[in-house]
A and B are shown apart, each in its own frame.
Chain A
Amino acid sequence: METILSIRNLSVSYYTDEGEARAIRNLSLDVEKGETLGIVGESGSGKSTLALAIMGLLQPPARVKTGSIYYKGRNILSMQGEEIRKLRGKEIAMIFQDPMTSLNPVKKIRDHFIEYITEHMENIDEHKALEIARKMMKSVGISEERLDDYPHQFSGGMRQRVMIALALALNPNLILADEPTTALDVLVEAQILELVKRLKNEFSLTLILITHNMGVVAEMADRVAVMYCGRIVELSKTEELYKNPKHPYTKGLIESIPLLYNRSRKLVSIPGHPPDLRNIPSGCSFHPRCPYAFDKCMNVEPELEKKEDGRYVACHLY
């Protein structure tokens, strides 16, 4: 397996008036070429900050404190203006939760394509760009006449398709999808997930799927990283994670979801609520909510370590 993206000891904080909010704390993660890596977490777990960091899109008040992100051996975090702009789009592309905010409402879809393509590729004329646009629209299942429409003329699901087509237009290797279906209805969500699965194979992409939905991850991902409070608490193959969750937080997440196919199951809810990032508990940040917490958990922060069975868990129980 070839590692396409490698995050090392990344720490990102937001400096607000109320103090420093530590969104990502000393996080390391490798993404293998061709895999779908699911990153699950609640709001405030740092998963969206991670996406922005990978895209090189962090802006004040956010600041990278330590660490590096290597894409094919080059550190994204030390890249400047033109270099990173070239990387975005051509190498790494992002799909956002709300396509409406990332599409300019007064521009036709064709102009979005032309602008995006000509900006990133040299020696390409509008005609060629339009050809790519037509091809992309076809592959996401929208007829090419709709290139002449404006964003508001599309339904939510169609807009997300357009966003996906745009993201793939420059033939990137790595796709970052941040909650791509959260704003959509169940049926449309299912359609988009199917589409993403198909395109991933068609374009041989590496996919990082960021979501809060355990169901979406189970259906899409090869490996899952569970984030809590700015750290990865568990990382393992999808089947293993769901069959035998190790970290008490992962366990809690899985056991607290009502299941349609097993309705008699008693839900076990995680007590308490996610902590304030400006005031993270000492030791293991999950310990105030953990039913298995013991002395050590309050004082020593567990590292994400490879256990005997080849799984990564950050917990003193193992």
Chain B
Amino acid sequence: MHATFTDEFMVSVEGLVKYFPVQKSFISQLISRKREYVHAVDSVSFQIRKGKIHALVGESGSGKTTTGKVTVGLIEPTSGKVVIDGRDIFKDEVDRRELRKKAQYIFQDPNSSLNPRMKVGQALEEPLIHLSDATKQERKEIVMKMLEDVNLSPAASFYSRYPHELSGGQRQRVVIARALIIQPKYVVADEPVAMVDASVRAQIMDLLITMQKRLGLTILLITHDLAVASYMADTISVMYLGKIVEQGSTEQIFSNPLHPYTNALISSVPVPDPKVKREKQIPHGEVPSAIRPPEGCRFNPRCPYRFDRCTREVPELLELEEGHFVSCFLY
């Protein structure tokens, strides 16, 4: 999984670890000195080729959003390395401003990621004010053009609207436009369609794909929806409780899923076609707490194929076929 030609990758994450200290009350801090941590992300590694879309798929609590935020420098990792466009972003000499110009984030909820008191035009202008040297006139031109690019036309009418005057889909377009307006090379799209109405979802996914092709973007797509990942992504990492359990091309993941968790995920997605009847493999129980994750393989308490070794040792992510990695003792 460690590529020889580093310059074909836009993003390279190596051994990423992020623990969050558990917030404790003042009193309980006095009583016990022991600090507890949420093991949000635990040695995660992946790479994204230039101009490709890589999806992080997993349920809530899998650490996918934390991973995404670390890769654009919104969260400092506990340890590990993130290289964007050839530069380690957590080394001191990397200028924050340079990083922001290169790496942007599309937030999940278009309702709360736009300031309700700022007009669409102001919201789109903000990155340009802080991150570019464009004059006021130039900024307005760039914003207008961007609005047209994301199909919010006539641009002049959208420019002076407030977020609450837009529909959910239009708001998401604004959020996407804001992330792309300074022409970043790398964008994290965090659940870009989760909060959007079903009939508008395909529009938004197509918009992202179009923009990605046009600007040659590299995208990290974060989603809980396997179908969204299958439609958009070139490669996929399946995460469970802070670890990557399986990684490969979209084709490999869906036509030959190896990890029991990936299998369970795929088989439990409700299929919008009553003709398709499948044997569901639903693991019992729910995702355990990330404060004290299970010993050994993190999936072992819910795994139907568990054996002795799974509870004692942590499986490594191994390459089973070219580009297809799995972390499971079955293989």
Measured CB to CB, the residues of A under 8 A from B are 42-43, 155-158, 185-191, 193-194, 212-219, 238-239, 242-243, 249, 252-254, 256-261, 263, 267-271, 273-274, 289
Contacts and interface: CB of A to CB of B under 8 A. Distances in A.
B169 A239 contact: no
18 contacts: A42-B199, A185-B287, A190-B280, A193-B270, A213-B270, A215-B271, A218-B274, A258-B227, A258-B228, A263-B230, A267-B231, A269-B199, A269-B206, A270-B199, A270-B200, A270-B203, A273-B167, A273-B168
A42 B270 contact: no
A194 B280 contact: yes
A194 B169 CA distance: 32
A239 B60 contact: no
B268 interface: yes
B303 interface: no
Contact of A269 (B60, B203, B280, B284): B203
Nearest to A42: B197
A136 B163 CA distance: 46
Contact of B282 (A187, A214, A249, A269): A187
Given A268-B202, A269-B200, A274-B199, A186 B272 contact: no
B166 to A, nearest CB: 9
**B198, B231, B268 interface centre (most CB from chain A within 10 Å):** B198
Contacts of A268: 202
A273 B171 CA distance: 11
Given A157-B286, A254-B272, A267 B202 contact: yes
Contact of A185 (B60, B202, B274): B60
Interface string B231-249: 1000000000000000000
B227 A257 contact: yes
A164 B305 CA distance: 30
Interface in B265-300: 265-266, 268-276, 280, 282-284, 286-287
What 4 A-B pairs come out closest when comparing CB atoms? A215-B270, A269-B202, A190-B268, A258-B231
A268 B199 CA distance: 10
Q: Chain B: interface residue count, which band?
A: 35 or more
A215 to B, nearest CB: 3
Contact of A261 (B202, B203, B271): B271
B134 interface: no
Contacts of B265: 186-187
B198 A214 contact: yes
Contacts of B250: 263
Contacts of B284: 191
Nearest to A267: B202
B203 A42 contact: no
B276 A273 contact: no
**B199, B273, B276, B284 interface centre (most CB from chain A within 10 Å):** B199
A42 B198 contact: yes
A188 B60 CA distance: 11
Contacts of A273: 167-170, 197, 199-200
Contacts of A216: 270
Contacts of B197: 42-43, 212, 273-274
A260 B270 contact: no
A43 B167 CA distance: 11
Contacts of A253: 198-199
Given A193-B270, A242-B273, A274-B167, 7 more contacts: A186-B226, A188-B286, A190-B268, A239-B275, A257-B201, A257-B227, A258-B230
A213 B197 CA distance: 10
Contacts of B167: 273-274
B14 interface: no
Nearest to B165: A276
B253 to A, nearest CB: 10
B259 to A, nearest CB: 13
A186 B227 CA distance: 12
Contact of A190 (B199, B282, B287): B282
A238 B170 CA distance: 32
B59 interface: yes
A261 B200 contact: no
Contacts of A256: 198-199, 201-202
Nearest to A45: B197
A155 B199 contact: no
Given A212-B198, A257-B198, A269-B203, A43 B168 contact: yes
A290 to B, nearest CB: 12
Contacts of A155: 286
Nearest to A158: B286
Contacts of B274: 218-219, 238-239, 242
Contacts of B271: 215, 218-219, 259-261
Nearest to B200: A273
Nearest to B195: A43
B205 interface: yes
Nearest to B227: A258
A187 B59 contact: yes
Nearest to A188: B286
Nearest to A237: B274
B254 interface: yes
A254 B272 CA distance: 8
B264 interface: yes
B59 to A, nearest CB: 4
Contact of B276 (A214, A261, A274): A261
B224 interface: yes
B254 A260 contact: yes
